[in-house]
Structure 1
């Protein structure tokens, strides 16, 4: 009888700190109640057989397959990495049960890779080698996206889904891979609303922004755009797009620090202001928003949210808004009435996560 090994990983929402994780900065993600569960059965051959409730499944692939641009690449890449790490010796049969909307910007791919690697770690639990830590799992998961799937992402998503704790935000220094858990508000909720526009990290626009950041790194001679002096960047003889991306990274990193202090001091207005300023920067400097997203964010604040912003890689997906718990139901009903294409995904706070 084949052994089965099960692992879970949550989705994540990034409260603030967009595109800073591959530019030497801070991020502030939080775990969601939506997530996924993977059941893995090791195989003696090289086949990758996947069933799922939420993806275009079943899918039959092979460990030797190159990435082809579909969702099953995530499974193939994760199992290849599990073999490289010595956790498995061959393919696997996978069953994936997910409540994370695909293309939502809530790290469905990172959660799937992390869950597969954690299930493979369980499968290897009887081996003599020391088990991989969750941080090592996160680093390995990023390798899958960078090297196999060709997505030039940073480390935030993988760290958040591998290590985040419900009811807290992870104040993560992506340079040192050091983090503190900060309690979320108990008077307010952070509401995640899907815009109705799906996104895909492999569609080229995310990669284009990464390339513009890389051009700025070459100009300044550093990997840490977030730590450059604002005046130095403002006065640099640099083309418009890389300069704008740099200015976003610098200011966004400062906003993350502001948001962390705001959470620690229970200063909800300061948190909201940082979120609002973040969206303006993503729209005008990083140019990763879209008019329907901007309209949804504007409605969120117009209807009473303390702050709201696009979250995730951009070009679709979700917004996150901070709203008083006592006003949540009325606010949400008005928002969804004004934007019928939008839908509630989740809500997180100090007291509990989930809707």
Structure 2
């Protein structure tokens, strides 16, 4: 029997900073308790055999296969990348155990790719740093799976520490870990609406951002001046996407400062403003999610917002720890399709 190597990666929730990670901005993700574990056994052939408790039958693929929109695509892409990096020489048998809800916007694909790459590094006994593996994982999503995502998810699941948020400059890949509040929890609730980043709407937003980038002659929309964007002779869609990026980047800096100062009203205000911007300027929300966010704040959350790529998935709400149990029950009573996923906070 071949030797087995195991690695894990958490899901992540982005507290604030949506669609800024491919536009030169800051993000503030945090690791969750939900996550996944991958057990990898190298093979002498080019076969990719993937089994997971979430699927009835194993997927049998080959390293030569292109992405087909299948649940095993991240595994095939990750193993192709592992071969390119010299961590493996051939295929592998993989077993995946996950507690991350699929289509939740909590980075299940990034966690899966990172975990496969970490398991391949363990098989080699040496290899790239966690930051380098995060960059490699992004290549898998961009180049193999065709998802034009930024670097946030991969960095968060490769490096984030429970109980902290990662203040990440996606342009420079510089990051600091920021303590989460001990008085409040960041509660993740699934809206009941699932999504796929490969369904085209995420890519359409990326195209609109690229149009704005060409107009302004920059890759870093987040660093533009608000007034310059407002006065630009640009169609409404790319202009609004750029306005979201500029204002969202400012909100991330405000949220980081608020966490550092223990100023929960300021953090909540930034989260609320972020949701309005995602709804109105980036047009990535849904009525069901808007209603869930509205109820969350009505019931006492200091802030709430859609989190993830948009068009479904989860919200994140900042709630006093002492009130969380009552708040959550009241929220789920009013939104029967919603369900609790996880909560993170400081110690």
- TM (norm. structure 2) is 0.99
Q: Tell me the secondary structure at the aligned position of residue 16 of structure 2.
A: coil
Alignment of 1:103-252 (within 5 A): 103-125=103-125, 131-252=127-248
Aligned-partner Cα distance in 2 for 1:58–1:235: 54
Deviations 1:25-70 (A, max 9, x none): 0000000000000000000000000110124641100000010011
In the alignment, does 2:24 pair up with 1:24? yes
> Is the contact between residue 54 and residue 99 of structure 1 (CA under 8 Å) also seen in structure 2?
no
Q: CA deviation at 1:11?
A: 0.1
Corresponding residue number in structure 2 for 1:320: 316
Q: Which runs of 5+ in 1 are unaligned?
A: none
In the alignment, does 2:264 pair up with 1:268? yes
Corresponding residue number in structure 1 for 2:52: 52
Deviating 4+ runs (over 4 angstroms): none
Aligned-partner Cα distance in 1 for 2:322–2:129: 40
Corresponding residue number in structure 1 for 2:293: 297
> Is the contact between residue 18 and residue 313 of structure 1 (CA under 8 Å) also seen in structure 2?
yes
In the alignment, does 2:12 pair up with 1:15? no
Q: Which runs of 5+ in 2 are unaligned?
A: none
In the alignment, does 2:304 pair up with 1:308? yes
Aligned-partner Cα distance in 2 for 1:10–1:76: 20
Aligned-partner Cα distance in 1 for 2:45–2:56: 23
- TM (norm. structure 1) is 0.97
Corresponding residue number in structure 2 for 1:288: 284
Aligned-partner Cα distance in 2 for 1:332–1:23: 34
Query: What CA RMSD, in Å, does the superposition of the two structures yield over aligned residues?
Result: 0.6
> Is the contact between residue 50 and residue 57 of structure 1 (CA under 8 Å) also seen in structure 2?
no
Q: Compare 53-62 and 186-195 and name the one that shifted more.
A: 53-62
Count of residues paired in the alignment:
347
Aligned-partner Cα distance in 1 for 2:97–2:57: 11
Aligned-partner Cα distance in 1 for 2:85–2:56: 28
